[in-house]
Structure 1
Amino acid sequence: MQTVLISGAGVAGLTLAHWLRHHGYAPTVVERAPALRPGGHAIDVRGVALDVLDRTGLLGEARRARTRMRGMSMHDGDGNELWRSTEMTYSSGRLDNGDIELLREDLTAMLYERTRDAAEFLFDDSIAVLAQAEDGVQVTLAGGARRTFDYVIGADGLHSRVRRLAFGPESDHLRHLGSHVAVFSTDNFLDLDHWQMWVQSETASYCVYPVRENTEIRATLGFMSQSLDHDHRDLEQQKNLLAENMASLGGDTPKLLEAMRTAPDFYFDAMAQVHMDSWTRGRVALVGDAGYCASPLSGQGTSLALVGAYVLAEELGRPSADPATALPRYEERMRPYVALNQALATENPGQGASEESLTRAKNALTLGDA
């Protein structure tokens, strides 16, 4: 049985582990965090990615866990309402479509339950060194263990360590999109009832919406800026940057920034995309954000992760698959789909892509027979 080391226990990594096991591989997942990462914003599963969830046996469960927004309102920078809609929200599109919006942590929990007994999990560890040989990849983990795998897959996000080790510096592959974003959860002090609220000025904006039967809210805050030189591990520095750049907004912004200070799941990063000439090198490959992050502005990051993981496992699962055939075929199938979905983030800055573009992009790939 061939072995695969997957770096990252997010949507891409867990989906890949499930489907590699289905195809007869022995997957190991290494995750730097001590457990599945909590928090995160609501994510969307659309088009062909719904077929992946269906084949994974999770479509019904995901539909039951979906958000239940009744609509949204848009407010100016002082908090004054400009307009409202009961037909759509910016985050999920039309409320009567067949797509699914659910919390990221709910989806990863579902995938983990489906995968936990089919893969080896190494939490609180990470890859420190990769050394490729003709017949495998020698790996040294940060915890000191040394092992050899037939393949190593980076499913470790925008700041992928596998990408850095196997493909070179992060700066060679990241394309900054001119803004930064933070996500965190807090109590529903706004008393929102299945309602999404946006506040927006020329340089900053935020979105808040209730989850967990209106008992808490998830907040997504962003501001325009060029690339910032900040420490990705220094949460206090990131919170100070956010507070400084959001201070011009009125309304409930001060209360929101106060809640940010004690949020248990604060996340901050640049809006950026990953563009690479190749996502594979020898026996190492990248999947999801690590190889082709489209940014939250596309609304398709989760779908790219699900579909990319499924297609990669499908190609590795073909009879007599080897690195010289399976990995290039994975790239060949995914490239057009990735290109269309990444383009959604930049088609109409500040307003979002058109419904026609989203429909085309989310369906721009056909899965093989199950």
Structure 2
Amino acid sequence: MPSLRPIISRELAAERLLKIFPREAFDTNLSSPISAAGVAALIYVGAVGPGPDTVWARPSTALWMQENILYSATTEEHRISWGKAAMRGREKVAALLSSWDIAFEQWYAQDSRESLRDDSWNLLRANNAMVTRPGVKTTSSAARWALADHFADLFDPTLEADDLDAAITTWIETHMTTSARAKAMAVRDHARATDAVKVTFPDGSVRLLERGHASLILKGVIEEWAPRKLHTPLVLAISEPGEKQAYVDEQRLQTLGVIIAVSQLLPDALLFDAGGNGTFWVIEAVHTDGPIDVERKAQLLEWAAAQHIPAYQVAFLTAFESRNAGPAKRRLKDLAPDTFAWFRDEPAFELLWTEISDAAR
């Protein structure tokens, strides 16, 4: 018996199915309520495979599942016992629940079996999300269904936010068919275009950054701070959490002799002021953490030195949402000497943390 995965609710299953198979592109049966019930029930009994110890299930496994089983009968012994009873028949499930003092209130009636099997599970199998037991005919009443293990990984309740999005993206790229992958990418790109943060560069061109507070701060730096501060600003690169290099001006970087690789310690943005002696501005946009402190500044200067950029041609800016924002209150004290701070809600001002010159005495 393989180790059982954490129990999930129908609601969590439904939410993730919608993220994996958005209804704008895929058959709605892939993310229907009964499909979500099937995922939750199969994870509960451990029907995940393939493998030598795979627990195989029938559609009735999902039909006979109920809310208070997921929330009350949660031990491994409960789950194994319930799964075995479900393989033996509805009466066995009812008898088992009676012994646990739980009323039998199944999710779906028996006549929903074909809907689950034909409209949900067959579609999931066609999209490499489910597997069937080798050697068992489709007309057989024997248990033959299980979630694909790599698909079940996407329902780990500890996966959240960016980690969940990254896992889903990897699964789409690795396991979906070419046509299904194209559908998913089209929906994702449309959502990005709709929700993205639009940034107007100094040359008038418009770029899209992934939505989020950090992108709004970068938008402020490029559209508000740079025109005020820099003589001739150029945006050389922007690094985002999801794509690392969201924008890279390869031609200008090549002209300047600068190489940017994902493996390097990249700032959130790299700008160049072509006026005067030319200055590279290293920008960090802080929504939660990550200001240019002493250690970060040293690392970035090492990176600059590797690009043959002298230290006197490098300047540093940590950008925040506001002086009243939590990250600024916590991290302003950590700013490295000779670096600037800027706040999106006060675009005409900036702070400089620097040592007082002896000449002023």
| TM surpasses 0.5 | no
Q: Name the one with the larger strand percent.
A: 1
Q: Name the one with the larger helix percent.
A: 2
| TM-score under structure 2 length normalisation | 0.22
Higher relative contact order (CA 8 A, sep 6+): 1
| TM-score under structure 1 length normalisation | 0.21
